[in-house]
Structure 1
Amino acid sequence: MRIGLITPEPGHPLLAETTALLTPEHEVEALDPVTLGDVPLPLPLPLPLPLPLPLADVYLLKSRTPHALGLARYLERRGAPVVNSAAATALCQDRTEMAGLALRAGLPFAATRTVGPLGAWAREARPPAPVVVKSRLSRRGDLVARADGGARLRELARDWPQEPVVVQEYAPNNGWDHKLWAIGDRVFSALRRSELSPGGRGPTHPLAPDELPAGWADLVRRVGSVFALDVYGVDIIDTGGGTPLIVDVNAFPGIRGQSGAPEALAALALSRAAAGRA
């Protein structure tokens, strides 16, 4: 089988370990979506693209940039399977669309309002309770912050005046995020001190499957079905008594330090490649 990696970072631990598992019997090729070779590509991407031929049996989309999404859409039009699809990956970048889909599907997702540029909203906003302010576009280095009143909002607005944001009411919790990840039907989990807690983000502690509250693993799989995702992350907080509240969904996160994750990804890649050939 030929497996393609759409990523500028093929040395990422999850991808590197998965590649090591596959290469004894299969061919793995990394495609940097910005260059596809030695020459930087403009946007929109020039068509046809200078791709290595024949196409791979499956591509793993481990990037969310416009170049990567454009490449994934092009490969899909050529008939190649892409995990996750470009459409599913793009949907998870837009927190407004993400929340709308989750709530329509009946998932326990945090109620989310879209308020536009933070600077304009902060001048008028008078939140009656603590809120969580997030960039509408999910990306590396985006804005995720708690604001307990107008003064904190205006402070954030000075740093992010033009940033389109969404707002969620702050749900009281124990200060720990449950980080859950899925690769196909396999669910992995960890606890991490929340970046919104007084002490800020802390280390990540892996959890065994039997340490999760009852029903949470099935909830994660349901998220995958609703969002048409195969490799994804779900951030959940416990609002009391094991009651879950989903606060974010991510397409193809890093899933670092999870025993069995590279094996699960290798098996998923081969399964999708075989299905594509059939």
Structure 2
Amino acid sequence: MRVCLLTDKPDHPLLAATAALLAGAGHRVTFLDPDAGPGDPWERIAPDGRGPAEVYLLKAHTPAALALARRLEAHGARVVNSAAATELCQDRGRLAEVADAAALPMPRTRTLAALSDALPGAGRPEHRYPIMVKSRHSRRADLVARADGPDALRELAAAWPDEPVVLQDFVPNSGWDHKLWVISGEVFTAVRPTPVGALPRGAHDAPLVRDLPSAWTGTALRAGEVFGLDVYGVDLLDREGGPVVVDVNAFPGIRGPQGAPAALAALALRRP
């Protein structure tokens, strides 16, 4: 089979290991960065209008990558994850709306056209602090911060005044995120420090990853169904003994879990 990985990081450990497994089994593997080089990336992979690969793994999430993925899909190519699912996960406002409609547990989320609209006196009710402030459109170096009061919110607005944002209720937590990565229904787990906020006093080492309750793995698998994803990550926090989803990423940078490259290779080879 011919497999193409759409990415700007061909040396990423997961992608490199997956490519090695596929190539070792006799499959043809190519890499393409949709944002590299001049001109239309379509001309570099599909001069005959069909494309050289039977399946495309969409790791890149840039506008050029999404446009290319949509074009490939229009010509009948299999793209994992789909362009529509990938684009949905980049819009935290839409993500929250879809999750709410599907009764997937997420913090209460409000979407604003600009962060400056969140300031006291901007015609909106006062917020319950602390709150999480995130760029509406997920991307590298986007805004993810905790505001503990009006002064902190003003500081963020001064730096990001026109940034479209979502405001989420803060979920009190231990300082550790449970990361669940899913590849074609197979769940891999890890813990990482939360991206904002201090770790609990005296905490130095991550808690051991053990078998999670079925509610946690069930929530992660349900997220894939809701958002139409085959390769994705779900960040969960414990809220009153139950899991709450604080982030969903299409095709994240999975690092560490044994078996992940083999699972991704098997997904690439799976017939629709």
Instruction: Give the Cα–Cα distance (whole angstroms) in 2 for the partners of residues 26 and 128 of structure 1.
Output: 54
| Cα deviation 1:114-144 (Å, max 9, x = unaligned) | 1221124225363232111000001111111
SS at match of 1:72: helix
2:100 to 100, 103, 118: 103
1:207 to 206, 209, 219: 209
Residues 5 and 56 of structure 2 are in contact (CA less than 8 Å); yes or no, is this contact kept in structure 1?
Answer: yes
> Are the structure 2 counterparts of residues 258 and 95 from structure 1 closer, same or farther at C-alpha, using a change threshold of 3 Å?
same
| Cα deviation 1:89-110 (Å, max 9, x = unaligned) | 0000000100000110011111
> Match of 1:269, as an amino acid?
A
Matched with 1:177 is: 177
Report the aligned-residue RMSD: 2.0
Give yes or no for the alignment of 1:244 onto 2:238: no
Residues 21 and 266 of structure 1 are in contact (CA less than 8 Å); yes or no, is this contact kept in structure 2?
Answer: yes
| Cα deviation 1:28-64 (Å, max 9, x = unaligned) | 01111024xxx423xxx58x63425653110000011
Q: 1:58-77 maps to which residues of 2 (within 5 A)?
A: 58-77=55-74
Residues 232 and 253 of structure 1 are in contact (CA less than 8 Å); yes or no, is this contact kept in structure 2?
Answer: yes
The structural deviation recorded for 1:214 is: 2.9
Residues 190 and 204 of structure 1 are in contact (CA less than 8 Å); yes or no, is this contact kept in structure 2?
Answer: no
> Are the structure 2 counterparts of residues 113 and 203 from structure 1 closer, same or farther at C-alpha, using a change threshold of 3 Å?
farther
Matched with 1:40 is: 38
**Relative to structure 2, which stretch is displaced further, 6-15 or 53-62?**
53-62
| TM-score of the two chains, using structure 2 as the length reference | 0.90
> Match of 2:114, as an amino acid?
P
Equivalent pairs: percent with the same residue?
Answer: 54
| Cα deviation 1:179-206 (Å, max 9, x = unaligned) | 1110001001111121222249x98777
Matched with 1:87 is: 84
SS at match of 1:207: coil
The structural deviation recorded for 1:216 is: 1.2
Residues 118 and 157 of structure 1 are in contact (CA less than 8 Å); yes or no, is this contact kept in structure 2?
Answer: yes
**Relative to structure 2, which stretch is displaced further, 216-225 or 120-129?**
120-129
> Match of 1:162, as an amino acid?
D
* Structure 2 residue runs without a partner (length 5+): none
Matched with 1:129 is: 129
> Match of 2:29, as an amino acid?
V
Matched with 1:51 is: 45
Matched with 1:159 is: 159
Residues 219 and 243 of structure 2 are in contact (CA less than 8 Å); yes or no, is this contact kept in structure 1?
Answer: no
The structural deviation recorded for 1:263 is: 0.6
Residues 174 and 199 of structure 2 are in contact (CA less than 8 Å); yes or no, is this contact kept in structure 1?
Answer: no
> Match of 1:51, as an amino acid?
I
Instruction: Give the Cα–Cα distance (whole angstroms) in 1 for the partners of residues 220 and 130 of structure 2.
Output: 27
SS at match of 2:45: coil
> Are the structure 2 counterparts of residues 248 and 189 from structure 1 closer, same or farther at C-alpha, using a change threshold of 3 Å?
same
Residues 176 and 199 of structure 2 are in contact (CA less than 8 Å); yes or no, is this contact kept in structure 1?
Answer: no
Matched with 1:21 is: 21
> Are the structure 2 counterparts of residues 206 and 190 from structure 1 closer, same or farther at C-alpha, using a change threshold of 3 Å?
farther
* Structure 1 residue runs without a partner (length 5+): none
Residues 134 and 165 of structure 2 are in contact (CA less than 8 Å); yes or no, is this contact kept in structure 1?
Answer: yes
SS at match of 2:113: strand
Residues 7 and 62 of structure 1 are in contact (CA less than 8 Å); yes or no, is this contact kept in structure 2?
Answer: yes
> Are the structure 2 counterparts of residues 188 and 206 from structure 1 closer, same or farther at C-alpha, using a change threshold of 3 Å?
farther
> Match of 1:182, as an amino acid?
V
SS at match of 1:187: strand
Moved over 3 A (4+): 202-206
Instruction: Give the Cα–Cα distance (whole angstroms) in 1 for the partners of residues 27 and 205 of structure 2.
Output: 35
